[in-house]
Structure 1
Amino acid sequence: MTETVRKPIEESQRQRWRRFFLALSWSIGLSACAAPGAVHHIVKSDAAQHHEVTTDRGVIRGTSAPEGSAFLGIPFSAPPVGPLRFAPPQPAAAWAGVRDATKLRASCPQLVPAREKSEDCLYLNVYTPADIKAGDRLPVLVWLYGGGLSFGSNEQYDGSRLAQRRNVVVVVPNYRLGALGFFAHPLLRGPDEGNYGLLDQRAALEWVQRNIEPFGGDPSRVTLFGESAGATSACTHMVSPGSRGLFHRIILQSDTCIFPEQWISRAGAEAGGIAMARDLGCNGADALTCLRDLPVGELVKAKSHRWGNVGRDSWSPMVGGEVLPDKPRTLFARGQDAPVPLLMGSNRDEGRLFANLLSLTLAWTSRKGYEREVGRAIRSDILDEVLGEYADEAERSYYHAYADIITDSRFACPMLSMHRLRAGRAADYVYEFDDPNARSAAPRVPFTPSQGSYHAAELPYVFGHRFLFASPDDWSAEQAELSDRIQRYWTAFAASGQPDVDGLADWPTFDSENPLRLSPEGESLIIDFAARHRCEFWNSMGY
């Protein structure tokens, strides 16, 4: 009797979580289907002209127009197919003649919609100012997309507007996701196991070092930046020995890599891999051959059976081996991180995006639903303490309590820990993006508040084009000015390691308490950041 009662409950909970995840991923995927990275305003401009550049593998032909220059779909590694599935990236083959670089290539396999998906996805896009020439030596920004390490693509991001307006070079690579990027199994054991997606990112950085000068970029001024899981990845490269020297500054938007959910032990990763392989009918000594022969769609849909970057049954980098020899927090504490300038920040209301989407599952109609969803996001060993810490807020609103738990634990407070762990080895600049009226075209869930400065709300301000639910076309004059200031801060940091811009607010190095507020109202230091986000509590929990 117990078994027959429990099974339907478990299935119902799983279905509710799946609906939440798919709501988020499909909304991002539908945004990607517009493929702003294709830069039609350049490629299809009446004034477009061919622009050839010689790389270490051959000549490519991109497009130049008054709006900028774009070189799309450049291979930086061999296709990771067949025996290279679950293997580190290998060098791309050379080609004869001139290779077309005017069209996007496929996104890496994932569940969400995309213009095209294929395992043959290790390509990058380069965006430069219109009048670029070899020898210009402009600052270079390499962007890593977010998506929980499970979805996302370089087709979602148009780097041309930032490149043209601020006189920089922007590079946007793809990297493998989900099982294809982070699967571990005893039969794969070795220095690269479980971190193929991170190795793809490293291969793109190596490509930049070999090739960016003919595009007018300076290989000695490379800034690695990313948002959400892209920031987790960039942060991880700071403590990955093989990535040392491939970048010179770091920008982390809305994530770090130091709290427990952002890595997994080899034992945990391999146990999940064995269980996943068993689900797929791949067991015993031939399991790896079986997994490499499976249709890619079966791997993408399979349950990971492990804790990861967005909670249970998701994905995260694996500790062990050359890529990540120890827990990131431990490596930072030992001073084994790259001593490069760091600009990092979070959005004031990060968790409201996730709370709004979970509202579709009716999670906030009862204390049981609230506690269940907090338990999906927070480790079981600290769950009771977390629920107790936010009991006063939960009495007023389960929605707000959940949103604040996510904002405080995942995004806001780890920045303070990152700063302490770095112990002044290099300059840190910290911000909180705070636009209470950040645009969102997402449908409002009844009885929930405005999303405020929700997760990913800052992305249109950085890139100057539509992302997810927001478009610059809908901005006020003050919001447009904020976007201009953010772009100037980011690119000044990329140029010099300091976000100092003439005519804008001074941005002091972080003092461990007062981030800079980035707002349509102007910049100012925040004096209640740690208290508002309950950082003393979260830091005591290891966040």
Structure 2
Amino acid sequence: MLRRATFLRLALGALVLVLEVIPATAKPTPVAKRADPTVQLDEATVTGVAGILTNSWLGIPFAQPPVGSLRFQLPQPLPSYITSFSATTYGPACPQQDISIPLPSVLPAEAVAAINNVTTLIYDVVTASSEDCLTINVVAPADATPESKLPVIAWIFGGSFEGGSSSIYPGSVIVDKSTELGVPAVYVSMNYRVSAFGFLASQEVKDAGAGNLGLHDQRLALKWIQKYISSFGGDPRKVTIWGHSAGAISVALHMLTNGGDTEGLFRAAFMQSGSPIPVGDITHGQPYYDFLVDQTGCTGSNNTLECLRDVEYEALINAINETPNILSYQAIADLGRLVLQGSVADVPFITGDCYDEGTLFSLSTLNITTDSDLYTWPKTYWVPNGTQSEIEAGMALYPSDPADGSPFNTSDLYALTPEFKRIAAVQGDIVFQAPRRLFLESQSGKQPTWAYLSRRYKWVPVLGSDYLVRFAANLDPSGDTGIEWPRYTTESPKLLTFLDGLAPLEITQDTYRAAAMKGITDLTLEYPI
């Protein structure tokens, strides 16, 4: 679901992940190359890269390498920068988990080829990976100085908490847009550990206080921003955290942690296709942990977690690649109940989804082709403690007719299996739509909130760049954008809706599939995933 300059398009019509993000432009007029910029961090001079309108510093380490004894440990900050260095290329991505999709033999050959091609593209977009991966990138307007005090946009990449990298999206697009609109900003992106390296889950991990390491990585990066961003021209008091998919879920988690205490790390949040999801205790990941222990020869060890720290990298990553690779993330709290309890940071936020969020993720369920299989699926993966009658009631909220499923409003098209579109509707609501609506309804009236719905593509990172940079600068996304974006309230749950065609924007009501979303929310609140 990731790409730098172009998006991926599934060759299955509405199963579109992404399209072109950065429009083609005329080649710029040649200009004299500027000297590479430098910035002082502690005792070190750090040299970056001069662009046409921006300066970039790439691959700056923000933590001690999480290798050896620091594997599966909380990230450790660097004492200080002592030796000068160049920051001219992105650092390696953190170790990535393989992506594979079980494809039933009944699929046409052309559909199999299309899905496999997209899977390959998704996996291949990330650069070389390494356990030594905790780096941060900064892009600033070329004329920014330590006295500029510009708003800061801190981007957290997505990838189901199993893949992705801070290098997949060029921050110069955002910085250029902010300058063009007269509200210049500084862009920051950070790497964080993914898959088992960042989200190992079990009782042993819980006892060691080593859960959700990827989120701790992000938090440490936000603390780095507070300490150093003024040197690049940014204002540490004006940080907006922004993320897509797993990155958006991460943003929501930073809003919920510490009882909603931001620790002064950010003043606003922007979530694209991700909200506080209905996950349960970290011990739900015990089967996967036990599998890794068994596959790496750590069974019988007095301290299996310590044993895993000593396992050779190749053996560990090979074992990880044998574990589930679609949304197997587990958190340490029931996020839905934290929202209902009011454990939310009191900052303005924007959140939104695409209309057919569940289609991509449902490619992993193509082996489910009958109603009988369908009713076994939530019992196995979503609500194992739910009763049969509760599960049947929940599934009944989603009609079996493919014309009613996701991709929505496409008649019988894209019904890869008899159950595919129904499952896609359920998964889209469980993971994306219903948590977003619950989040908005719970916070309405307590803080400024805005919401959007994209009925175009699965995800567009510069979708509404104007809105993003205005929000980061003014804590209000509206401005000279062609349409006023009203706040979201329970009395009038308005969405800024992105459409194809001659009228690309309109204001709609967030009332679609109300009964289904309420039912699925009630079920997952009762039985967190």
TM-score range, shorter chain: 0.7 to 0.9
In the alignment, which residue of structure 2 is the partner of 1:428? 449
Pair 1:209-2:217 in alignment: no
Whole-angstrom distance in 2 between the partners of 1:386 and 1:184: 28
Count residues in correspondence: 448
1:371-450, aligned counterparts within 5 Å?
Answer: 378-380=382-384, 381=386, 383-394=391-402, 398-435=419-456
Whole-angstrom distance in 1 between the partners of 2:190 and 2:76: 15
In the alignment, which residue of structure 1 is the partner of 2:64? 78
In the alignment, which residue of structure 2 is the partner of 1:345? 352
Consecutive unaligned residues in structure 1, runs of 5 or more = 1-22, 25-30, 320-325, 436-452, 463-482
Q: Deviations over 1:88-143 (max 9, x none)?
A: 11122544442101111111011344321111000011111222222111111111
In the alignment, which residue of structure 2 is the partner of 1:514? 494
Rate the CA distance shift 1:346–1:376 in 2: closer, same or farther, 3 A: farther
2:277 and 2:432 in contact (8 A); partners too: no
Whole-angstrom distance in 1 between the partners of 2:376 and 2:214: 31
In the alignment, which residue of structure 2 is the partner of 1:139? 151
- Cα offset, 1:254, TM superposition: 0.5
More helix by share: 1
- Cα offset, 1:339, TM superposition: 0.5
Pair 1:68-2:51 in alignment: no
Q: Deviations over 1:216-260 (max 9, x none)?
A: 111111011111111111111111127532111111111112423
- Cα offset, 1:531, TM superposition: 3.1
Whole-angstrom distance in 1 between the partners of 2:481 and 2:176: 20
Pair 1:107-2:93 in alignment: yes
In the alignment, which residue of structure 2 is the partner of 1:118? 130
Q: Deviations over 1:348-369 (max 9, x none)?
A: 12223334x45xx854765566
Consecutive unaligned residues in structure 2, runs of 5 or more = 1-8, 11-16, 98-122, 179-183, 404-411
RMSD (CA atoms): 3.2
In the alignment, which residue of structure 1 is the partner of 2:471? 493
Rate the CA distance shift 1:99–1:190 in 2: closer, same or farther, 3 A: farther
2:495 and 2:510 in contact (8 A); partners too: no
Pair 1:87-2:95 in alignment: no
Secondary structure, counterpart of 1:193 in structure 2: coil
Rate the CA distance shift 1:224–1:290 in 2: closer, same or farther, 3 A: same
In the alignment, which residue of structure 2 is the partner of 1:328? 335
Q: Deviations over 1:407-452 (max 9, x none)?
A: 22221121110022225321110110122xxxxxxxxxxxxxxxxx
Whole-angstrom distance in 1 between the partners of 2:514 and 2:201: 39
In the alignment, which residue of structure 2 is the partner of 1:540? 522
AA aligned opposite 1:148: S
- Cα offset, 1:525, TM superposition: 1.9
Q: Of the candidates 326, 330, 336, which is equivalent to residue 316 of structure 1?
A: 330
Pair 1:252-2:289 in alignment: no
In the alignment, which residue of structure 1 is the partner of 2:253? 236
Question: Normalization by structure 2: what TM-score?
Answer: 0.77
RCO greater where, 1 or 2, for CA within 8 Å and sep 6 or more?
2
Rate the CA distance shift 1:190–1:368 in 2: closer, same or farther, 3 A: closer
Whole-angstrom distance in 2 between the partners of 1:138 and 1:399: 47
1:73 and 1:123 in contact (8 A); partners too: yes
1:304 and 1:315 in contact (8 A); partners too: no
In the alignment, which residue of structure 2 is the partner of 1:278? 294
AA aligned opposite 1:491: V
AA aligned opposite 1:49: A
Whole-angstrom distance in 2 between the partners of 1:231 and 1:416: 14
AA aligned opposite 1:280: T
Q: Of the candidates 521, 525, 532, which is equivalent to residue 507 of structure 2?
A: 525
Whole-angstrom distance in 2 between the partners of 1:327 and 1:524: 35
Rate the CA distance shift 1:117–1:518 in 2: closer, same or farther, 3 A: same
Whole-angstrom distance in 2 between the partners of 1:492 and 1:160: 16
Secondary structure, counterpart of 2:36 in structure 1: strand
Whole-angstrom distance in 1 between the partners of 2:249 and 2:366: 30
